[in-house]
Amino acid sequence: MLERNAVLEVVALLLIQGEKVLVAQRPKKDRLAYKWEFPGGKIEKGESPEDALIREIQEELGVSIRVLSHFKTIEHLEPPVPLRLYAYFAQLQGGNPVPQEQQNIQWIPFNELLSLDFAPADIPLAQYLVSYLNTV
Protein backbone atom coordinates (compact mmCIF):
# COMPACT_ATOMS: atom_id res chain seq x y z
CA MET A 1 0.00 0.00 0.00
CA LEU A 2 1.38 3.39 -0.99
CA GLU A 3 1.78 5.77 1.94
CA ARG A 4 0.25 9.21 1.71
CA ASN A 5 2.68 11.57 -0.03
CA ALA A 6 5.03 8.69 -0.79
CA VAL A 7 7.13 9.10 -3.89
CA LEU A 8 6.67 6.32 -6.41
CA GLU A 9 9.99 4.91 -7.59
CA VAL A 10 9.90 4.05 -11.28
CA VAL A 11 12.43 2.91 -13.88
CA ALA A 12 12.55 3.82 -17.55
CA LEU A 13 14.37 2.33 -20.52
CA LEU A 14 16.43 4.31 -23.01
CA LEU A 15 16.88 1.90 -25.89
CA ILE A 16 18.64 3.30 -28.93
CA GLN A 17 19.14 1.72 -32.32
CA GLY A 18 20.81 3.70 -35.06
CA GLU A 19 19.25 7.16 -34.94
CA LYS A 20 16.07 5.99 -33.23
CA VAL A 21 14.79 5.47 -29.70
CA LEU A 22 12.02 3.20 -28.47
CA VAL A 23 8.91 4.77 -26.94
CA ALA A 24 5.60 3.33 -25.76
CA GLN A 25 2.12 4.76 -25.51
CA ARG A 26 0.16 4.26 -22.32
CA PRO A 27 -3.08 2.28 -22.66
CA LYS A 28 -6.43 4.02 -22.87
CA LYS A 29 -7.79 3.05 -19.44
CA ASP A 30 -4.83 4.65 -17.76
CA ARG A 31 -4.66 8.00 -15.91
CA LEU A 32 -2.07 9.04 -18.50
CA ALA A 33 -4.04 7.51 -21.39
CA TYR A 34 -2.33 7.83 -24.78
CA LYS A 35 0.64 9.73 -23.38
CA TRP A 36 4.00 8.52 -24.66
CA GLU A 37 6.71 7.38 -22.29
CA PHE A 38 10.00 5.57 -22.10
CA PRO A 39 8.96 2.00 -21.24
CA GLY A 40 9.34 0.73 -17.69
CA GLY A 41 7.41 0.62 -14.45
CA LYS A 42 7.46 0.55 -10.68
CA ILE A 43 10.39 -0.73 -8.68
CA GLU A 44 9.15 -3.45 -6.34
CA LYS A 45 10.14 -3.73 -2.70
CA GLY A 46 13.67 -5.06 -2.30
CA GLU A 47 14.43 -4.80 -6.03
CA SER A 48 17.32 -2.82 -7.54
CA PRO A 49 16.41 -0.35 -10.29
CA GLU A 50 18.37 -2.44 -12.79
CA ASP A 51 16.51 -5.64 -11.85
CA ALA A 52 13.19 -3.79 -11.97
CA LEU A 53 13.96 -2.55 -15.48
CA ILE A 54 14.93 -6.01 -16.71
CA ARG A 55 11.72 -7.47 -15.25
CA GLU A 56 9.44 -4.71 -16.53
CA ILE A 57 10.84 -4.86 -20.06
CA GLN A 58 10.48 -8.63 -20.17
CA GLU A 59 6.86 -8.30 -18.98
CA GLU A 60 5.89 -5.41 -21.24
CA LEU A 61 7.93 -6.03 -24.36
CA GLY A 62 8.85 -9.71 -24.17
CA VAL A 63 12.60 -9.17 -24.54
CA SER A 64 15.61 -9.38 -22.31
CA ILE A 65 17.93 -6.44 -22.01
CA ARG A 66 21.36 -5.74 -20.63
CA VAL A 67 21.44 -2.57 -18.56
CA LEU A 68 24.40 -0.40 -19.57
CA SER A 69 24.42 2.79 -17.50
CA HIS A 70 22.32 5.20 -15.51
CA PHE A 71 21.52 8.36 -17.48
CA LYS A 72 19.33 10.64 -15.33
CA THR A 73 16.92 10.60 -12.45
CA ILE A 74 13.90 12.83 -12.95
CA GLU A 75 11.90 13.95 -9.94
CA HIS A 76 8.34 14.75 -10.85
CA LEU A 77 6.92 15.44 -7.41
CA GLU A 78 3.54 16.86 -8.31
CA PRO A 79 0.26 15.19 -7.30
CA PRO A 80 -1.61 13.01 -7.93
CA VAL A 81 1.34 10.64 -8.32
CA PRO A 82 4.68 12.13 -7.25
CA LEU A 83 7.36 10.02 -8.81
CA ARG A 84 11.07 9.56 -9.18
CA LEU A 85 12.00 8.20 -12.59
CA TYR A 86 15.37 6.46 -12.95
CA ALA A 87 16.39 6.25 -16.61
CA TYR A 88 18.96 3.77 -17.90
CA PHE A 89 20.60 3.06 -21.21
CA ALA A 90 20.34 -0.59 -22.13
CA GLN A 91 20.75 -2.88 -25.10
CA LEU A 92 18.72 -5.78 -26.41
CA GLN A 93 20.00 -9.26 -25.69
CA GLY A 94 18.30 -10.59 -28.82
CA GLY A 95 14.89 -10.42 -30.44
CA ASN A 96 12.69 -7.44 -31.01
CA PRO A 97 10.34 -5.71 -28.57
CA VAL A 98 6.74 -6.85 -29.01
CA PRO A 99 4.03 -5.23 -26.88
CA GLN A 100 2.65 -7.75 -24.37
CA GLU A 101 0.03 -5.46 -22.80
CA GLN A 102 -1.69 -4.01 -25.89
CA GLN A 103 0.30 -0.80 -25.72
CA ASN A 104 1.56 0.88 -28.89
CA ILE A 105 5.28 1.18 -29.38
CA GLN A 106 7.42 2.90 -31.98
CA TRP A 107 11.05 3.52 -32.85
CA ILE A 108 11.16 7.27 -33.29
CA PRO A 109 13.99 9.25 -34.90
CA PHE A 110 15.88 11.44 -32.42
CA ASN A 111 14.89 14.57 -34.29
CA GLU A 112 11.15 13.80 -33.92
CA LEU A 113 11.24 12.76 -30.27
CA LEU A 114 10.27 16.13 -28.80
CA SER A 115 7.13 16.33 -30.94
CA LEU A 116 5.52 13.44 -29.02
CA ASP A 117 2.82 14.04 -26.40
CA PHE A 118 4.81 12.68 -23.45
CA ALA A 119 3.73 11.92 -19.88
CA PRO A 120 4.86 14.86 -17.68
CA ALA A 121 7.91 13.16 -16.10
CA ASP A 122 9.12 11.98 -19.51
CA ILE A 123 9.17 15.47 -21.02
CA PRO A 124 12.36 16.62 -19.25
CA LEU A 125 13.86 13.19 -19.75
CA ALA A 126 13.29 13.40 -23.52
CA GLN A 127 14.80 16.90 -23.53
CA TYR A 128 17.92 15.73 -21.66
CA LEU A 129 18.21 12.76 -24.00
CA VAL A 130 18.02 14.87 -27.16
CA SER A 131 20.64 17.30 -25.75
CA TYR A 132 22.87 14.38 -24.85
CA LEU A 133 22.47 12.70 -28.25
CA ASN A 134 23.42 15.94 -29.96
CA THR A 135 26.77 15.90 -28.14
CA VAL A 136 27.78 12.29 -28.94
Residue nearest to ligand 523 (CB): 41
Distance CA 96, CA 2 (A): 34
CB proximity list for 75: less than 8 A, separation 6 or greater = 7, 83, 84, 85
Cβ closest to ligand 523, residue 12 vs residue 15: 12
Cβ 16 to ligand 523, closest distance in Å? 15
- Nearest approach, Cβ of residue 53 and ligand 523 (Å): 9
Closer to ligand 523 by CB, 42 or 72: give it. Answer: 42
> Whole-angstrom Cα distance, residue 105 to residue 108?
9
Q: What is the smallest separation between the CB atom of 81 and ligand 523, expressed in angstroms?
A: 4
**Which chain residues interact with ligand 523 by CB under 6 A?**
8, 10, 12, 32, 37-38, 40-42, 81, 83, 85, 119, 121-122
Q: Looking at this protein, which amino acid is placed at residue 108?
A: I
Residue 135: CB minimum distance to ligand 523, A? 23
Q: At CA 40, angle to CA 90 and CA 69, rounded to 5?
A: 25
